[in-house]
Amino acid sequence: MTGPRPAVYRDQDFPQDVVVYEVGPRDGLQAEATLVPTDVKVRFIKELVGAGLPLVEATSFVSPKWVPQLADAQEVLAELGDLIRHPVLVPNMRGLERARESGVKSIAVFASATETFAHRNLNAGRTAVCEMAAEVAAEALRSGMTVRGYVSMCFGDPWEGAVETKAVADVSRQLLDAGCYEISLGDTIGVATAAHVTALVNEHVAAGVPLNRLALHFHDTYGQGLSNVLAGLRAGITCFDASTGGIGGCPFAGSATGNLAMEELLWLLHGLGISTGVDLDAVVRAGQTITDFLGRPRSRIAMAMGH
Ligand code: HMG
Ligand code: MG
């Protein structure tokens, strides 16, 4: 069944196609206190891929002591079959070993623009965390994997406050030099506003980073997600992260709430006449699977569509 659609008004300044990168099964679930059974996670991932999402970050190979929710990463991957091509998050060499044993082809490594969050998220300083990510990236590339890089706390940090755009671009540069094909700039606590997004993208361009090597990763804590996407589009970005159902948060950043909802991102992009290759109705149904299981409200678009 096909639900309502936005009317299409194209803005010639925007790209024809955008890549949407789904983080729900990883970023969305990692902070959930109720353990989600492996079969529910696998069903969620399969529904997301079935909806046409080209990249679904399936889980993470972090320490199960730090993130018990994703302790079943091996079990999840064992159920994925061909879908094993989708990426997983890896913090260190131990995580890479586990991912390799599971047949993973694509990973994402992560670092922090701030010192405090590097400690809180990875138990090491900003420089050490960056070196660890670079070491993991190099080894993963040697194994024939593709590697994405995340930088967290790109727009503000709950402990350190404002974050300089240059500090972020320095970390991005190190991850690119380590061989990451793309850097996703994370607004971990959702404090970014539109002109700040423009400034951060421009800082990267000035540092020689090509626009097609950047992605934007918004959490919607302060309701700025979509206006930040629009600013990103205007600045020339063509890859955006989001989580179906708007679930998510980071267990190590107290004020991080849900990611930008994939349903809302798709409504905006499709209304702008930008192709994503994704079936919005199928994403809405996948969102329902997970929000109903978690007992969370459905996304605004699911509710508007009468789901
Ligand atoms: P540590 O405690 O310093 O690590 O944590 P350790 O090396 O001392 O190891 C402690 C224990 O964990 C040991 O076991 C290790 O073997 C084990 P024990 O000897 O005590 O039995 N261990 C592991 N087990 C399985 N897989 C592993 C692994 N590593 C160690 N990979 C560590 C350091 C990096 C492990 C820890 O800090 C960690 O796992 N952090 C991950 C935190 C995390 O997942 N954060 C959320 C993801 S990032 C995010 O959400 C932001 C993002 O969305 C973008 C944005 O929004 O900004 C990407
Ligand atoms: Mg995140």
Nearest to 3 by CA among 287, 304, 276: 304
| pLDDT of 30 | 96
Expressed in angstroms and rounded, the spacing between residue 159 Cα and the centre of ligand 1 is 21
Task: Decide which of 299 and 78 is more confident.
Answer: 78
For residue 250, indicate whether it is catalytic.
yes
pTM over 0.95: yes
Mean pLDDT of 196-209: 98
- Atom of ligand 1 minimally distant from the CA of 91: 34
Ligand lying nearest the CA atom of residue 113: 1
Ligand minimally distant from the alpha carbon of residue 251:
1
Give the pair of three-digit tokens for residue 273.
């006449």
110 CA → ligand 1 middle, Å: 11
If we measure between CA atoms, which residue out of 95, 29, 17, 94 comes closest to residue 56?
A: 29
Q: How many Cβ atoms sit within 10 Å of the Cβ of residue 59?
A: 31
CATH architecture of the domain 19-304 equals Alpha-Beta Barrel (3.20)
SS3 assignment, position 261: strand
What DSSP letter does each residue of 266-282 carry, written as one string? HHHHHHTT-B----HHH
What's the CA-to-centroid distance between 262 and ligand 2, angstroms?
A: 13
> Who lines ligand 1 at CB under 6 A?
27, 30, 60-67, 91-92, 94-95, 98, 110, 121-123, 150, 152, 186, 188, 217, 219, 250, 252
When pLDDT is averaged across residues 191-219 and rounded to a whole number, the result is 98
Distance CA 266, CA 285 (A): 14
State pLDDT tens for residues 3-42. Answer: 889 999 999 999 999 999 999 999 999 999 889 999 999 9
d(CA 89, CA 68): 15
pLDDT for residue 157 = 96
Nearest to 147 by CA among 96, 109, 104, 111: 109
Q: For the segment 96-125, what is each residue's pLDDT rounded down to a tens digit?
A: 999 999 999 999 999 999 999 999 999 999
Nearest CA residue ID for atom 40, ligand 1: 122
Cα 90 to ligand 2 centroid, rounded to whole Å = 14
Neighbours of ion ligand 2 (CB under 5 A): 27
Alpha helices in 51-180 (DSSP H): 73-78, 93-101, 115-122, 126-142, 165-177
State the pLDDT confidence band at 1, using cuts at 50, 70 and 90. low
Whose tokens are 């070196």? That residue is 131
**Ligand nearest to C-alpha 258:** 2
d(CA 111, CA 89): 12
pLDDT in tens, 127-149: 999 999 999 999 999 999 999 99
Domain ranges of the chain: 19-304
Nearest Cα residue to atom 36 of ligand 1: 122
